[in-house]
Amino acid sequence: MKKLTIMIIGVLLLSSFLIAGEVSKVGTTALGFINIDGRLESAIKIAIEKGCDALFFANNNLGILSLNILDKLGKHVPDDIGLVSFDNPEAFQIAKPGITCFEQPIDLMCAEAIRILSAKINNKKPSEYQHLLQGSLILRGSC
């Protein structure tokens, strides 16, 4: 099995992956950019220079912006580099190729937030503060 190198861009996602050890479990090396403000193009250039196989974005805005940057750099998804992101905006569905993404269960997340807030408003302790909700991996042509 080939060892992959991915760049994870976004503070929460990088921290979560590294803390959970998920990256090493799948035989992957992770390079991370935490504070990306105004430096997305630089981060992508570094990823390409380091031979990254894929970019993994913590939010869809960075994923969408990366498409233009990769085009500007003459890089093609997925031939030159793979792309995966959180959320599932329409842009990912109509992009060529379509962008693989992890769709968060927004409806369930909202229901959990309302449940916890309702309990707090009524001076009750919620039965649990952490709840694992199942999202969906939507595979498209970007990796």
pLDDT tens-digit map of 52-82: 888 888 778 888 888 999 999 999 999 999 8
Q: Which residue intervals of 26-83 are DSSP H helices?
A: 40-49, 60-72
Give the C-alpha separation, 123 to 128, whole Å: 14
Give the C-alpha separation, 138 to 93, whole Å: 10
Model pLDDT for residues 1-52, shown as the tens digit of each residue = 455 566 666 555 555 555 444 555 555 555 555 556 567 888 888 888 888 8
According to DSSP, the β-strands at 4-9 and 28-33 are parallel
What pLDDT shows up at residue 71?
93
What pLDDT shows up at residue 20?
44
